[in-house]
Amino acid sequence: MAKPVIAIVGRPNVGKSTIFNWIVGDRMAIVEDKPGITRDRLYGTGEWLGTSFNVIDTGGIELDGEDSILRSVRVQAELAIEEADVILFMVDGKAGVTPDDEEIARILFKSGKPVVLAVNKVDNIQRQELIYEFYSLGFGDPIAISGAHGLGLGDMLEAAARHFPPETEDPYGDEVIKVALIGRPNVGKSSLVNAILGEERVIVSDVAGTTRDAIDTPFEKDGQQYVLIDTAGMRKRGKVYETTEKYSVMRAMKAIERADVALIVINAEEGIIEQDKHIAGYAHEAGKASIFVVNKWDAIEKDDKSTQQFTQKIRDHFLFMPYAPVLFVSAKTKQRLNRLMPVVSEVAENHAARITTHLLNDVIMDAVAINPPPTDKGKRLRINYVTQVAVKPPTFVIFVNNPELMHFSYERYLENKIRGSFNFEGTPVRIITRKKSSDE
């Protein structure tokens, strides 16, 4: 289910990005080392005492042509209020309470959302008295922190975690395939949802989603139950949300977390832009089965090579997702729409597939025999055995003599062998290398 969300809010130069970077740690850098993946620093994942959560750095939201810093900060605060379960309101202990702080406090206070007030730049115990004037903002006990020295940050996260909503059970169960339509604004997500449901004509009901503002629509086709999680069904919130393009990534993240399959919708008329790569990258990093759905294909002048050429463009731009099939459809004319749900069902099945250990080891040992691991400074990687430890996505642990000898290129070779032997189209495959313990 969707993770709790902390949003970091505050005026410029209070240290929001420093705290964001501390919370997400190295995750943003180490999640993916394959070529071609893109990511921004607006949205990350943190963990506190075993609980994983998402964190938004609203400082990453910039309004083009905005002449008022305060108005920009106000917009950031409003975005945070919409998205967050807990708001981390950061102020500068050295600067004291400013009019901008008071304005942000008024906005946050009206929201009714839980607020943790963090006073940054309290770098030592002698500066502790800097926090007292911040009681005037009305959020209870301020927490003294130092982003530069790492002081008080545990207390800050502990205070935030107290406001996390309780975990909720999946209301649909494992048998229902949950499908998120994701993509930047105006790629045709809403019309695609309407076309899918119009085609099936077996809508069970419209229910409010378990997240604040996605629309869940359960329906059934060929005996399989699905739920469409439509990010396009969110409330209209004014022009500012359209001009804040990064915001579409934040909307997509929640839908991705709840889904089994992500339909990455691309506008055939506009082609591929950087924002498409951000959104697809989050689906990949979240380990979801994925399908590229090129919408508005009816509007393109085509020849016998058009499909092949556009597919190649997708492969070139999304090097980190070679496993995701590409479908060309038109919500307007229903062109090829009948192919969509069967492919969704297939990739969902692959995403949940489990391979027996002996078959897996046969494949890996054959791969090693054909192409033994290269030596590194006279040492050679020795693979003992492999086992599948998880599904959604399929995750394999390879036990070896020394994990440091596993080069990423050889790991990719083994992944390709696994993919070539078993049908994992549409799903990422994760490989973990571990040292075989001496008593095994």
Tell whether 152 is in a known binding site.
no
Q: Is 60 known to sit in a ligand binding site?
A: yes
Neighbours of 214 (CB within 10 A): 22
Which secondary structure element, helix H or strand E, spans residue 225, and what is its range?
strand 224-230
C-alpha torsion 336→338→341→346, nearest 10: -80
- Establish whether 232 is an annotated binding residue: yes
295 a known binding residue?
yes
Is 375 a known ligand-binding residue? no
- 100 assigned to a ligand binding site: no
Cα torsion 205, 183, 279, 164: sign: negative
Question: Is 341 labelled as part of a ligand binding site?
Answer: no
121 known ligand binder: yes
Tell me: is residue 15 an annotated ligand-binding position. Answer: yes
CA separation for the pair 263, 228 (Å, rounded):
10
Q: Rounded to the nearest 5°, which phi and psi values hold at 328?
A: -110, 120
Check the annotation: does 155 bind a ligand.
no
On whether 184 is known to bind a ligand per the annotation, the reply is yes
The CA distance from 311 to 326, in Å, is: 7
- The answer to whether the annotation marks 189 as part of a ligand binding site is yes
Q: Is 281 annotated as a binding residue?
A: no
> Is 433 flagged in the annotation as binding?
no
88 closest CA partner among 103, 99, 77: 77
Tell me: is residue 12 an annotated ligand-binding position.
Answer: yes
Which pair of tokens denotes residue 431? Answer: 């490989």
β-pairing, 86-92 vs 115-120, is parallel
Residue 187 is assigned to a ligand binding site: yes
Query: At 221, which helix (H) or strand (E)?
Result: strand 215-221
Both structure tokens of 150 = 């790492």
* 26 is annotated as contributing to ligand binding: no
298 appears as a binding residue in the annotation: yes
Q: Does 276 appear as a known binding residue? A: no
Element spanning 72, H or E: helix 69-83
In sequence order, the β-bridge partners of residue 264 are 182, 292
Question: Is 61 marked as binding a ligand?
Answer: yes
Question: Does 234 appear as a known binding residue?
Answer: yes
Say if residue 59 carries a ligand binding annotation: yes
On the CB side of 177, how many CA atoms lie within 13 Å of its CA? Answer: 28
188 is in an annotated binding site: yes
377 assigned binding-site residue: no
Residue 208 marked in a binding site:
no
- If residue 247 lies in a helix (H) or strand (E), which one and from where to where? helix 247-258
- The binding site comprises 10-17, 57-61, 120-123, 183-190, 230-234, 295-298
- The binding site for GTP comprises 10-17, 57-61, 120-123, 183-190, 230-234, 295-298
